[in-house]
Structure 1
Amino acid sequence: MAACDTKAEPTGRGASSSGTDRAHADVLFIGAHPDDEFQSLATLGRWKEKEGLSSAVVTITRGEGGGNAIGPQEGAALGMIRETEERKAVGILGVRDVYYLDKPDFWYTLNAPLTGKVWNRAPQRPTDTLERLVRVIRATTPKTVVTMDPRPFNQHGAHQQAGRRAIEAFAMAGDPKAFPEQIKDEKYKPWKPSRLLTQSWGFKGPLGAQCDGRRITDKSTELPVLGVWPGGRSVSGKTWAQLERDAARTYKTQGFGSLPKDVTTPAEKMPCEWFTVVAENGKPRQAEERAQSGLRPQYAEFRDWARRMKMPWLANEAQPAYPARPSATVPEVAKAPVVNGKADPGEYPAGALKLAHWEGTRCSSAKDCAADARFARHGDDLFVLVHVTDDKKGAALDAKTDCKRHWRTDSVEVGLDPQGRSDDTSTTFKAAVLPFTANGGGACAGRDGDNRQGPAAKTAPGMVAASTVTEPYEGYTVEAKIPLADLPAPVDPDRLTANVLVFDSDTQDKAGHSRLAWSAYGSAQADPYVWGGLRLPGYVPPPGRPTHAPDIPLEAALSKDSKASRDQSERTGVPLGCGPRRPQ
C-alpha cells in the first residue's frame, strides 16, 4: 500500500545540491515520546524500500517521565538516553531525522488538557507546541502525516495531545494566515499535506497477507482504516515485523529489551499495522456524528474540540460504557493497627476486597498471582493491608536510590481521590510500596503520578509502611498507615474514591508481567472515573484543611545539549527544537 497518492514536491529554503530540500520527507510521523513510533516502523521501512518514500519523525518530548529499566537516571539525563535509543531504533528502518520539540514529559496521565498546559506553560504561548509542529511541516514538506489516536479513553494524555496538535497542524500548515511570521520573517512557504493517518493500535481486522492494503470501515468513526502487512520480507532477508522487533529491543530503558529476539508469529496469523484515514487530498473525511449524552468532563472537552476541528465524528463512542464502581465501607477501629506487615486480631474487621486481573498477562493460577485488600480507619488515619500470593520474586531495587516507578517490579499501589470528583490524578494521592528491596532491605514507599511525587518521607511525611515476605517465597503482605492530612484536599467521607493495585513482575529485568486491581477497568491506575467508593462513616475532616495545587515535574532534555540534534540541525537547516528560524 502506498503512503500517498503522489510523491511530494519539496518547497522552501534549504535546498541541497541535488535540488531537493535538505529537510524534506515524504512521510512525517508525529508522536509524544521516543518509542511511540515503534509499532509503525515496519510500515515506514516498507514504504521507503517499496515506494521510495522517505520518512522523518517528530517527538514532542524525550520521555523524561518514563521508567528506566537499565539505571537510576531520570529527568533530562533519562531523556538523553531515550533520544539515543530512538535514533538507533528508527535508523534500523531507514529513518534518519528525528525532530524534538523539547517539551517536558511527566508522569502517566490520561488528561490531554493537563498535558497541554505543561507543554505550553508561561512564558511560552498557549499555542507554542502547535506553532512548532506547523513549522516542522512547512520545513519538511511531507505529503503524508501520521500521528497518534487523539481519543481520550485508556491512553496517555501525551499521546492524545500529540494527535490533537498534529491534526491541527495538518490543517493549518497550508494556510498563510496561520502563524504568518513563519512566512514573513522566517521565509517558510505554506505547505498543505495530502493525507493524514492516525495509528489505530486497537483495530481488529483480518490476519495475514489478506489484510495488506485493505480499507475497512471502523464502526466507531465510520472512517476507512488501512492495513499494512509486516509479514513480507525486506531486501535484508528479514520480515518487516522482525526489523521492527529489532528496533523495539533498542528501547532498553522501557523494558523492551526483554522482548523475544525473534518474531515467531506465523505469517498467516500476523496482523497488519492499521491506520485510520482522517484526511485525504488535503481535506478531512466526513462521517456522521453520533453524539453521546451524559459525558464526563474529560470526554465533553474532547467532543467540543472535535467539533471545533469540524471532525465531530472523532468523538463517536469516545466515552466507553463505564461499569458500576465497586464500593466498600471502612470501619472505624478503637485502637490503631500496628503497622507491621500483618493483620493482627481485630485490626481489620471488614471483609477483604478481592483484586481482579486488570492488565498484562493473566495469572496462570492463584499461586502465580492473587491479592486482596482490607481497610480500617482510626481517627484521622486510614490503614490498608494488602495480601499478595506470588510464585516468583521480581527485581529487588535499591531502597535509597530506586524506590520509584514501582510498576517495574513487585509492588502495591493505593490511589485515593479525597472528594471523588477528579478528572485526572494531579488532584489525587497515590502511593506505592515495594515489599522488598536490595541487600535484604524491607519495604520502601513513594508517590508517583499524583499531586506530589517522590519518597514518602518527603511527600507524605506521616505515612508508615511495612511488609512481611514469606520464606520460602510464596508472596508478601504490605501494610500502610496513610494520614488523611497527607491527601491534597479535605476528605469527603461520602465521596472518597480509591483503588488498590498490585504489580507482579516474575522477572529480574525490571519489566512488569501481570497487574491486578480492585476496580479493574481501562487505565485503572490513572483514571479516577474508575475508582471505587470508599465510605468513611463517622469521619469529619478538621476545619480549615487546605487544598494543594499539583506539583508537576518540568525538567526537559534540550536539543542544544544533544550532539546528534545539533548535527541534524546543521544538515537539515531546521532549528533546534523546531523553534523560529533567524531571518536572512
Structure 2
Amino acid sequence: MGGFGRRVSRRAVLGSALAATWLATDFSSDSVHRNVVDGARDRAHTDVLFIGAHPDDESSNLSTFGQWREDLGLSTGVVTITRGEGGGNAVGLEEGPELGLIREAEERRATGFVGIENIYYLDKPDFWYTLSAPLTARIWGEQDTLARLVRLVRSTTPHTIVVMDPRPFNQHGGHQFSARLGIEAFRLAGDPSAFPAQIADEGLTPWHPSRLLAQNYGFESLLGPDAAEQRRTDPYTGLPVIGVWSGVRSREYNTSWAQVEREATRLYLTQGFAAQPAQVSSDPRQLGSDWFTVLAEDGRFIDAAVHREDGLKPLYAEFSDWADRAGLPWLANRVQPDYPPNPSTTIPAVPIAPVLNGIEGPGEYPGPELPLAVWRGGGGCAATAKVARHGDDLYVLVTVTDDRKGAELVVEDTKRHWRTDSVEIVVDPRGDSDDTSTTLKTGILPYIAGRVGPIAERDADNHQGLARETAPGMRVAAMVTDPYRGYAVEVKIPLGELPAPVDPAEFAMNILVYDSDTDDKTGRTRLAWSPFGSAQADPYVWGTATLADYRPLADSSTTDTPPVIPQTAARSASSAASLAQAGRIGVPIAGSPRPSSSRYSVSPNR
C-alpha cells in the first residue's frame, strides 16, 4: 500500500482497517458473508449503514464508502435524521423546509459520486447549533426516532453500522444524539422484544448487525499510506481504532479517493464547502485516512476498562449515565475535558448611560479592558471589549482591528453572522446554564448591504430572530473606519429581557468576534474573551462577570422563560426523490411503518 498509483488488494483497501487488524473478524468472515446473502433477498439491503444528523455528516467518509464499494463490492446506505433546516446557507436566502429540500438534493448528488443510492430521512427538525444531546432528544422525540431507526435497520439488514462520535465535548448535540440512537438501534434491532409491533404487524424480522464503528477525528494529523497500517487504540476509551487511507487510487475515476471525495464535498454548496480548494495534494504523504473506533464485533460490544471521573458537570454526568445504560460505560472515560479557569471581571456601575455611538466617551467604561484571544484560525484581526452597567441595562463596547472587510450580508441573511465580520455576545443571567436554550445570544453585524447597518439578531438561544422583535429593548451602534481598518460595536442589553432573573454574583458571559477576510461568506478567524472548545455554545466556558452594586428590582417581572425552538422540518412527502426511492425499494418514507401485509419483509439472519 506504499505506492500512490499501485492497485491495492482486497485486504489492503480496508487500510489495515478491518482486514489486517487484530480484530476477531473482517469483511470476508463467514458471519458477515452470511448476513450479506440473507439480506440480499431484500431490495433495500445495504452492507453498510451510516447514521448521521444532517445532510453532510457523511461527507468526510465518502472516500471510505467509495473504496468499500469499488474494491469489496459493499453497498452503503445513509440515514439522515434531519435535513439541516436550522443550518446556514452560503448561496441563498432559503431557510426552514425550503433549505432542507435543497440540502437533501446536495446530499444525494454528493453521495452519488461514491455509489450511494439510498438516503433515508427521518423528518426530524433541525433547530440550531447546540452542544446538548438531551436538548436534541427533547426536540426530536427520543423513542419515536429510535423506533424509526430500528425499523430501518431491520429493513435494510446491514452487517456494519457507522455512527458519529457520541462523546459530548465540542460537537453538535445532533451528532452526539444520532450516534447514541445508532448504538441503541444496533443493539435493539435483533431483539424481538424491542418494538414488537414492527415484527407482528409490519412483517419485519429481528436483524443482528455484526460490526459497529464510530467516527474518530483524533488521528487526523497522521498522514501517508503507512499510518492506517498501524494498530491504534483510542486514548480515551481504550477501544481499537482502524484507518482507511484516502490515497488509494480509484479505478473508476483514475484518481485518488481523496480527490473523489473533494469533488463530492464541494457539492454541499449551502454549507460553504465549495470554498474548499478544488484539488487535493498529489503527494501521497500529504493524504490522510478516515478513522473509526470499533465499538462492536460479531454483534457484541468490545469491552474496555472503565475509568470513572468525579465531579462531572451535568451534561457530562448525563452522558456517563447513558453510557452505563447502553452497556458501554467505557465511552465515558475521561469524558469531561480539563476546562481552563474561567476568566472573570467586575462590571462597574456608571451614573450616566453611555452614548451608543461606537466610541468610548469619558467615564463611560471605567472597568478593565477585556482582551479577546484567538479561538480558531488566526491572523488579520485583533479585538478588545469593555463592559459597564447603568441601572438595569448592560452596555458592551467591542473594538476590532481588521485588515480586510468581509462579505456584506443583506438583512434577511443576518442569522448567519458568523459567515462574515461580526460580534457575538452571549449572556447566562444566573451562570447555571447547561446549554444555550436558557441564555441570550446576540450576533451584531457592524455593516450590511445597502449601508443601513448595524443590525442585531438572536440565534441558538432562548428566542431567535431579529433583535427588534425578540429583544425590543436592545440597541446597537457601530462605527466602521473609512478606509477600512476595522470597526467598533456598542450594544445596550436590558437585563429585564434576559431569559431568567439575574444573579449579580454568578452572572456569566462571553464576547466573541468573527472575522471573514473573504467575499464568499466563509469565516476565517474567531476571537473570544474565553476561548476554549465551542466557546460560543458552551456555557461552562464563559467568564464570570460580577455586577457591582446591582440589586434587581424587587417588583421585577422577569421570570424563567421557556425556550422558543423552531420545530418545522422538511417532509419526505414533499421530496420527489424520497418518494421515488420508497417506490423503488419498498421502504416507506421517513422510517414510517410498513403496511401489515408488506411483501418486502426480510428473511431472518441465521
TM superposition score normalised by structure 1: 0.96
1:404 aligns with 2:421: no
- How far residue 214 of structure 1 moved from its aligned partner, in angstroms, is 3.7
Distance in 2 (CA, whole Å) between partners of 1:64 and 1:554 is: 10
Which residue in the other structure is 2:451 paired with? 440
Give the drift of 1:541: 1.4
- Asked if 1:91 is matched to 2:103, the reply is no
Match of 2:227 in 1: 211
Partner of residue 389 from structure 2, selected from 372, 377, 380 = 377
Q: Identify the match of residue 344 of structure 2 among 327, 341, 350.
A: 327
Q: What's 1:578 paired with?
A: 591
Shift of 1:128: 0.5
1:492 pairs, out of 498, 503, 506, with 503
Partner of 1:9: 35
Query: What is the CA-CA distance between 1:8 and the residue it aligns to?
Result: 5.5
Mark the CA change 1:11 to 1:463 in structure 2 (over 3 Å): closer, same or farther: farther
Alignment of 1:150-549 (within 5 A): 150-204=166-220, 206-235=222-251, 236-264=253-281, 266-359=283-376, 361-363=377-379, 368-399=380-411, 401-543=412-554, 544-549=557-562
Q: Of residues 115, 135, 156 in structure 2, which corresponds to 1:140?
A: 156
Q: Which runs of 5+ in 2 are unaligned?
A: 1-13, 19-25, 598-606
1:580–1:119 Cα change, 3 Å? same
Q: How many residues align?
A: 568
Letter of the 2:198 counterpart: Q
Q: Aligned partners of 2:130 and 2:214: how far apart in 1?
A: 20
SS at match of 1:308: helix
8 A Cα contact 2:244 2:289, kept in partner: yes
The one-letter code matched in structure 2 to 1:375 is V
Determine helix, strand or coil for the equivalent of 1:28. Answer: strand
Aligned-residue identity in percent: 57
SS in 2 for 1:155: coil
| 1:545 CA drift (Å) | 2.1
| One of 81, 84, 92 as aligned partner of 2:102 | 81
Whether 1:563 aligns to 2:579 is no
List gaps (5 residues or longer) in structure 1.
121-125
- Give the distance between the partners of 1:537 and 1:330, measured in 2 at CA: 6
Deviations 1:415-444 (A, max 9, x none): 000000000000001111000000222200
Aligned residue type for 1:44: F
CA 1:8–1:329: 2 relative to 1, 3 Å: farther
Q: Could you give the per-residue CA deviations for residues 226-255 of structure 1, whole angstroms, max 9, x where no partner exists?
A: 000001110111111011111110111011
Using the alignment, how far apart are the partners of 1:567 and 1:442 within structure 2?
46
Query: 1:207: how far off?
Result: 2.3
Give how far 1:164 is off.
0.2
Aligned to 1:554: 567
- Whether the 8 Å CA contact 2:162–2:214 is kept in 1: the answer is yes
Letter in 1 for 2:594: R
**Partner amino acid for 1:171?**
R
Distance in 2 separating the partners of 1:104 and 1:215: 39
Partners in 1 of 2:475 and 2:295 — Cα distance? 51
Distance 1:7 1:213, change over 3 A: farther
- Kept in 1, the 8 Å contact 2:36–2:159? The answer is no
Q: Is the 8 A contact 2:424 2:512 kept in 1?
A: yes
Give the letter for the 2:568 counterpart.
E
Q: Is the 8 A contact 1:395 1:509 kept in 2?
A: yes
Question: In structure 2, what is the equivalent of residue 67 of structure 1?
Answer: 88
Name the CA shift for 1:200/1:221 in 2 (closer, same or farther; >3 Å): same
Which position in structure 2 is the counterpart of 1:123? none
Work out whether residues 8 and 141 of structure 1, in 8 Å CA contact, stay in contact via their aligned partners in 2: no
Shift of residue 266 of structure 1?
2.4
Matches within 5 A, 1:97-112: 97-112=118-133
CA distance in 2, matches of 1:380, 1:194: 60
Distance 1:62 1:213, change over 3 A: farther
**2:303 counterpart SS class:** coil
Q: Secondary structure at the match of 1:244?
A: helix
How many angstroms apart in 2 are the aligned matches of 1:512 and 1:403? 14
Q: Counterparts of 1:161 and 1:7 in 2: how far apart (Å)?
A: 30
> AA paired with 2:109?
K
In 2, Cα distance between the equivalents of 1:266 and 1:540? 64
1:43 aligns with 2:64: yes
SS in 2 for 1:61: coil
Residue in structure 2 matched with residue 127 of structure 1 by the alignment: 143
Distance 1:39 1:147, change over 3 A: same
Distance (whole Å) between structure 2 residues aligned to residue 572 and residue 8 of structure 1 = 21
Superposed CA deviations along residues 251-293 of structure 1, whole A, max 9, x for unmatched, are 1101111111111262113221100000000000000100001
Alpha-carbon spacing, 1:455–1:161, altered in 2? closer, same or farther (3 Å): same
Shift in Å at residue 213 of structure 1? 4.6
- Distance (Å, rounded) in 2 between the aligned partners of 1:101 and 1:206: 35
Structure 2 contact 497–558 (Cα < 8 Å) conserved: no
Q: List per-residue Cα deviations over 1:293-346 (Å, max 9, x = no partner).
A: 100000000001101111100000110000100001011001000111111121
> Aligned equivalents of 1:254 and 1:565: distance in 2?
21
TM-score by length of 2: 0.92
- Is 2:220–2:289's contact at 8 Å kept on the other side of the alignment? no
RMSD (Å), alpha carbons: 1.3
Worse-matched range after superposition: 479-488 or 257-266: 257-266
Contact 1:45–1:93 (Cα < 8 Å) also in 2: yes
| One-letter code aligned to 2:48 | V
**Contact between 1:228 and 1:272, CA under 8 Å: does it hold in 2?**
yes
Cα shift at 1:11? 8.0
Say if 1:21 and 1:215 are closer, same or farther in 2 by CA, change over 3 A. farther
Partner Cα separation in structure 2 for residue 265 and residue 148 of structure 1? 29
